[in-house]
Structure 1
């Protein structure tokens, strides 16, 4: 899959389950950078709705958007935890 000219790695079932455990429904996150989305500024906060079978984290953002974050492309962190760039690097 390609997003903004970046090839996105397809995650296996084990990696998706790890993301689901890390980001259960209701988890609050803060956006650091969303690839190719000008209307999604750094610092934007949102609440996780669910993680789909591709490992995309669907979020209700405080600006009214419902765009998903892609763990292998976008940068974000849980609110209340230390900020790390691409904190959710899925290692096999």
Structure 2
């Protein structure tokens, strides 16, 4: 999946460093991280991949629009469902 410069900047604003997310499912990885694993966004690269540090110690890129995940609201154990509505 390719994101243009404007969409990458929107992703960076939406998922700044330190954002907590929960991985629901990795759809296209030969060695996926287990569903339900929590992580923290380290940075968003120029291709729009969220580089994450998972609570289990693993690091891996999460691709919005390909992998399924949701944001964990700060100060709460409740989650906020995120929908990717970024036009190509």
Return the TM-score normalized by structure 1. 0.80
Task: Give every structure 1 segment of 4 or more consecutive aligned residues whose post-TM-superposition deviation is greater than 3 Å.
Answer: none
**Larger relative contact order, structure 1 or 2 (CA cutoff 8 Å, min sep 6):** 2
C-alpha distance in structure 2 between counterparts of 1:38 and 1:52, whole Å = 21
- Runs of 5+ in structure 2 lacking a partner? 74-78
How far off its partner does 1:88 sit? 2.2
Aligned to 1:55: 48
Aligned to 1:64: 57
- Runs of 5+ in structure 1 lacking a partner? 1-8
Please give the per-residue CA displacement for 1:34-70, whole angstroms capped at 9, x wherever unaligned: 1235551111000010000000000000111110100
Aligned to 1:12: 4
Secondary structure, counterpart of 2:56 in structure 1: coil
How many residues matched? Answer: 82
Tell me if the contact between 1:71 and 1:89 (Cα under 8 Å) persists in the aligned partners: no
Cα–Cα, structure 1 residues 13 and 39, in superposed 2: closer, same or farther, change >3 Å? closer
Give RMSD over aligned pairs. 1.6
Aligned to 1:4: none
Return the TM-score normalized by structure 2. 0.83
